[in-house]
Structure 1
Amino acid sequence: MPGPKALANALALDSPKGAFYTYIGWAALIGAKRPAGSTFAGDVAVTKYMLDEAYVGSVTGFAHGLSPFFRISTDRPDDVLSDTVNRIAAASSRLDI
């Protein structure tokens, strides 16, 4: 399974600075094809893909005026966050970018 380095190849992630969440930029996925062949139309499609394929719940960046981003909670133990990042990376690696 790909690790955090694979995530960095497709998505932008900054470490949170005092918050319990972080935004992940998905601009590199614009135009990427999902395994079913469709492309992402916006933040909602990306958050749905991450829920369906990575089992990661997130909030659209659009909801906070920050598109193309999605937001995840970082208020979890390190092992849970590491697993979350690995699942996001694995789901991203299944895209034709």
Structure 2
Amino acid sequence: MTMHDDMLLLGTLGTAQHPMGPDAGEVELHAPTADLDGDGLLDTRTYATGGTLYVASDLDEDGFADHITAVEGEGGFESWQAHRGADGEVRWARTDRGSL
């Protein structure tokens, strides 16, 4: 399943807190607005909804997010990294979580 980046705003997948989770699938990243790695190409976009800020980055320039961080209004955060399995399916692994 491919999730369009605007679906992050709708909160249609994943946990009750936010749409990220191991089975979120591919997240298509449209119209990035920031160059996170300084290579001159726009690769990152931010979204805010329901008190959560999402930062989604496509660092390998394939049109799909590789890394997403969600920061909730009270300061809790989770970071997720996408990995494509041998079966071709994208799975997300949480790489960090905590409180700011």
What TM-score do the two structures reach when normalised by structure 2? 0.31
Select the structure that is richer in helix: 1
What TM-score do the two structures reach when normalised by structure 1? 0.32
